Structure 1
Amino acid sequence: MTPSDVNTVSNSLAAQGYLPDDGISTAVFLAMTLQRPLLLEGEAGVGKTELAKALASMTGGELIRLQCYEGIDVSQAVYDWDYSRQLLHLRATEATGESTSMSSDDLEAQLYGERFMVKRALLRAISPVEGPPPVLLIDEVDRADDEFEAYLLEVLSDFQITVPEIGVFRAERPPLVVLTSNRTRDVHDALKRRCLYHWVEHPGFEREVEIVKLRVPGVDDGLARQVAAAVEALRDLNLYKPPGVAETIDWAAALGKLGATKLDDELVTNTLGTVLKYREDHQRVDQHGVAAVVKQAFEKGLMHG
């Protein structure tokens, strides 16, 4: 699927429950039409991973997710061998006497053939598929180390992977690639040059309200506005971990389950654990005053209502 313009991307993502701003829609349009990987950076919880999920739903391609972490290597990201099946095959050839008529090279070629290969995310993403190409999500690439990032650069440059025992695997049609980074460290310039880049901000107030209303069906309109305004107020408190859009949605859903139609001090105090996940941040809100957060939420909710 190659979209005709930016508006088509925007409308298609919205139909999947993801409300993009113009910058995101433009970045996605260019990534799809130029067939370039898209690197999304931004604070945790701003919707980077959700965008990849929405793209998979939008294109109809399979979402293949590679979660990066310190120490990730080829066997976890590209391919590995199914040692238990190889051993069973070896035992079977011995039991039937087949191995006696084979050279060690022939036997090894059997054991290290594609039938005993376990394809991990990167190899699956370039394998031939029926239907639309997959969406390859390389999540939190900033958590991986330099060696893996260098390997990734090679894969994304040519969309091909060499397996010494078998040969070269090449993508007939390249996947749509989305890389995300929470910027715990800087991604290398070489990888950034290979990608289109977009910094994902927290949404503006009105867009966050619309996201809440879309993702929490039946939520009271006034409550959605107050929750979005309260989260905006919390983000201004210099917290250790400012709440993202995911936390805004969780908070609105939790308040809806409690039958709330408006915020008050007690309700905010009792449900703050759905939006803030660190004790230090709870203490910071206590110092600032829950009442002040509620007051700001009411004022902004009414002002924009």
Structure 2
Amino acid sequence: MEILQESGKTLLHIRSHFQGLTKTEQKAAKYIMEHAPEVIYLSVTELASRADVGETTVLRLCRKLKFQGFQDFKLSLAQDLVQPMDYLHTEITDQDDAASLTQKLITSHIHTLEQTRELLNPEELGKAVDILYEAADIQFFGVGSSGLTAVQAAQSFLRIGKRSGAGTDTHFQAVEAALMTGQSVAVGISISGSTKDTNDNLMLAKRAGARIIAVTSNARSPITKIADIVLLMVARENPLQSSSLSAKISQLSIIDLLNAGVSLRMKDQALKYKELTAKATSDKLY
């Protein structure tokens, strides 16, 4: 395959270091140069698989190129490849008026939800609903944008009477994970599936006996090796698109499905708790 013409400093940097790399590093580097526009959307696991090398080879290559890690490398590569308006949205141009923006963005969100519906395994979703219904307590784990989804998820389950939590500090998350039991369920939310803090805390929860549910867009990521149940959602982000609303809509749709499924299992009890929690906050409104 013909190697793309290097348009930014990152690819030129790879080219200049190419001869000093090991054979396996050259293999990874060549794949990056040939597929640069795709690489910015891949996890380290996916890139290693496609280049037919180990994950450590990819990480070692990044360090040799003077990057702090794979994410730092992808950010640099994305800055070279992506035009300013592209990372707002791939179809948006500076010529779009308000009506065009509305049409394009909402259509994109609908498309994301449709793809998530096609990707989500109903059997796995059913299993997840079952163990959440049986759980004595639920902890949601996530950082960054996924951490915000985790907080929203905990609130939604708390309102139907399921004891739920989502710490915003990773150290407190670790404490919560270590205190979980065989009656607990830990839900890890990570778009890449390679977020170290989230995965480390899920491992703590697993060792404590908790059952693990993973919500991720990467079926071959490290989080899937920890999880008992994997729920796949669609989120295609390069480093300049992190925290995109499209990805969050996809995450929240799965949380909503889980919450609705558990609510139906709880029937009148869920309605009772919804009324109680609504009344508890009603005097906060004018």
Please say whether Structure 1 and Structure 2 have the same fold, judged by a TM-score greater than 0.5: no
The higher relative CO (CA closer than 8 Å, separation ≥ 6) is in: 1
Q: What TM-score results when the alignment is normalised by the length of structure 1?
A: 0.25
Which of the two has higher C-alpha Rg?
A: 1
Q: Which structure carries more strand by proportion?
A: 1
Q: What TM-score results when the alignment is normalised by the length of structure 2?
A: 0.27
